[in-house]
């Protein structure tokens, strides 16, 4: 396996004395190849190179950046089995899951290439001058979205490809014209380096500045803090735990120049199942719910960690099916021993909470980072009184809230913290009540689903993968879909600027075939 164990800064690889290794979560054994610990020196170098590259990279044409993204996708596929095998060893994820994630990663790159080629993402708005206007002449003003500056991206633990080195944060930032420095996740450094090598190969095939991309590895928090604090960094993308993310968020906001910090901290993704939504098919509902709960060993940010039901004949049948089905559901291996240990601590805490009872659990997986599936129950009033029951259990563990009536179900909805998703299962027998519940839950999440399950995030233009804090740090944004590009742009207005100086998208004779608003009307050249 041709892994160097070095940093990638620009097109150069650097190393230092201190090393760390990845651990196989199934066996607990250290994997071959040591990786260099990033230092403050490397953070300073990467940030400086990114700042130098920013002017040239941000001024490249959208077509050039689109070609770069397509090349990255091609180089990732060219890694072949080497990437899948290494990712499997480092994460214990099955090959089929990794193949799907690789396809999603590459499709994401191609989606943003399409967005760049189409061009309307710059939101070009032109208000032409009117010298005859009284009492004051109207100036010529033109605005568009422009790249924000160098961006730091933290690789996620649970998606070694789609939310890591070439994941959504990296792709949307590069598409906007922002150089990217990735802090690789220490649980899968080999996977990170392989993907970084694909990006470097793609970069070398272009005329883009080498400082447009860098990877820095490291198992310690200091390197991440150094990157966030660096004055040349203008935004941060983070997917991970609330504790770690909040510490970095506070750091970003306490700088002399505060910067945007786009953090995704997780969610319990409540499902509200009305009696008519369960209906006569409680068996199927139980099967589908458990499948969504345990998908990826419960380590998706969209696994349903909370099920809210109303006491009824349908819910009684559902509880019986859940009890029997979960016992038979195979348990899995978690991504790392650290995640497994943290989940164990969270479960111990849950067991001590007032009114919480274990409904059922499966047999524990005996691998090094093995776990087991669990479902707990709690009465609605106990849930509403205890805000700590809303903390995410990152793993295949779910809490069922049992409501006595519709009023209690609405009280649970009112008490909810911010979420990535909320789901309602209903056949609309009482349209007025469902509308009220929908309105309430829509205030709590970035995505509202009906009669489905939140696992599975479609990568498309209309997707919103965001939510109210503590799900994310900015409810106005998404980390999936075409709108993600706006996290790494800013609007800039040009007033009475000569045509020769204006960006192409704002020139009168615009060579780009994009939709623009001119004097209040949308016009496509």
Instruction: List alpha helices for 11-139, DSSP H.
Output: 40-58, 62-78, 81-91, 95-118
d(CA 204, CA 79) in angstroms, rounded, equals 16
Q: Is 301 a catalytic residue?
A: yes
- Active-site residue (options: 264, 361, 392, 483): 264
With contact defined as beta carbons under 8 Å apart, do 179 and 213 qualify? yes
Q: Is 16 a catalytic residue?
A: no
With contact defined as beta carbons under 8 Å apart, do 181 and 152 qualify? yes
- Give the chain's count of helices (H) and strands (E): 15, 21
With contact defined as beta carbons under 8 Å apart, do 298 and 395 qualify? yes
Q: What is the dihedral of CA 321, 397, 474, 166, to 10 degrees?
A: -100
With contact defined as beta carbons under 8 Å apart, do 412 and 308 qualify? yes
Q: What are phi and psi of 14, to 5 degrees?
A: -125, 155
Which residues contact residue 230 at a Cβ distance below 8 angstroms, ignoring those fewer than 6 apart? 43, 44, 47
Cis, bond preceding 218 (omega within 30 deg of 0): no
E-assigned strand segments in 125-222: 125-127, 141-147, 151-154, 180-183, 213-216
d(CA 97, CA 90) in angstroms, rounded, equals 14
d(CA 500, CA 55) in angstroms, rounded, equals 18
With contact defined as beta carbons under 8 Å apart, do 260 and 297 qualify? no
- Active-site residue (options: 193, 301, 403, 408): 301
The C-alpha angle with vertex 431 and arms to 449 and 427, in degrees rounded to 5, equals 55
The residues carrying an active-site annotation are 264, 301
């Amino acid at each position: 396996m041709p892994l160097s164990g070095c940093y990638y800064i620009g097109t150069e690889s650097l190393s230092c004395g201190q090393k760390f290794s990845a651990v196989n979560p199934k066996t607990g054994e250290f994997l071959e190849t040591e990786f260099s610990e990033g230092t403050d020196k490397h953070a300073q170098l990467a940030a400086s190179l990114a700042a130098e590259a920013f002017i040239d990279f941000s001024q490249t044409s959208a077509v050039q950046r689109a070609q770069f993204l397509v090349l990255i996708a091609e180089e990732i596929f060219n890694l072949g089995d080497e990437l899948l095998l290494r990712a499997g060893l480092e994460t214990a994820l099955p090959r089929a899951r990794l193949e799907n994630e690789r396809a999603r990663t590459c499709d994401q790159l191609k989606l943003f290439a399409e967005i760049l080629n189409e061009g309307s993402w710059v939101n070009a708005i032109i208000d032409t001058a009117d010298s005859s206007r009284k009492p004051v002449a109207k100036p010529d003003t033109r605005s568009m979205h422009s790249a924000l500056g160098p961006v730091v991206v933290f690789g996620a633990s649970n998606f070694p490809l789609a939310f890591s080195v070439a994941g959504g944060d990296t792709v949307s930032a590069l598409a906007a014209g922002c150089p990217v420095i990735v802090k690789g996740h220490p649980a899968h450094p080999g996977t990170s380096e392989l993907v970084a090598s694909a990006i470097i190969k793609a970069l070398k095939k272009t005329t883009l500045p080498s400082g447009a991309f860098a990877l820095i590895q490291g198992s310690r928090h200091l390197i991440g803090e150094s990157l966030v604090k660096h004055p040349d960094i203008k935004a941060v993308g983070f997917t991970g735990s609330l504790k770690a993310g909040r510490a970095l968020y506070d750091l970003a906001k306490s700088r002399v120049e505060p910067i945007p910090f786009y953090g995704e901290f997780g969610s319990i993704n409540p499902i509200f199942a009305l009696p008519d939504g369960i209906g006569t098919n409680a068996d199927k509902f139980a099967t589908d719910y458990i499948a969504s709960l345990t998908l990826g060993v419960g380590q998706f940010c969209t696994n349903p960690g909370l099920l809210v039901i109303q006491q009824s004949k349908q819910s009684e049948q559902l509880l019986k099916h859940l009890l029997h089905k979960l016992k038979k559901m195979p348990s899995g291996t978690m991504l790392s021993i650290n995640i497994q240990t943290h989940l164990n601590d969270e479960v111990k805490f849950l067991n001590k909470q007032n009114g919480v009872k274990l409904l059922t659990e499966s047999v524990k997986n005996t691998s090094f980072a093995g776990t087991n599936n669990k479902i707990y129950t709690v009465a609605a009033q106990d849930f509403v009184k205890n805000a700590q029951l809303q903390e995410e259990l990152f793993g295949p563990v779910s809490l069922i809230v049992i409501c006595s009536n519709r009023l209690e179900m609405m009280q649970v909805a009112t008490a909810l913290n911010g979420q990535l998703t909320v789901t309602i299962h209903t056949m609309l027998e009482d349209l007025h009540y469902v509308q009220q519940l929908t309105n309430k839950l829509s205030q709590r999440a970035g995505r509202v689903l009906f009669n489905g399950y939140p696992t599975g995030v479609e990568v498309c233009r209309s997707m919103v993968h965001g939510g109210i804090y503590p799900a994310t740090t900015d409810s106005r944004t998404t980390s999936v879909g075409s709108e993600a590009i706006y996290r790494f742009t800013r609007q800039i207005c040009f007033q009475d600027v000569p045509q020769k100086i204006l960006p192409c998208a704002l020139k009168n004779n615009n060579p780009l075939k994009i939709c623009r608003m001119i004097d209040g009307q949308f016009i496509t050249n």
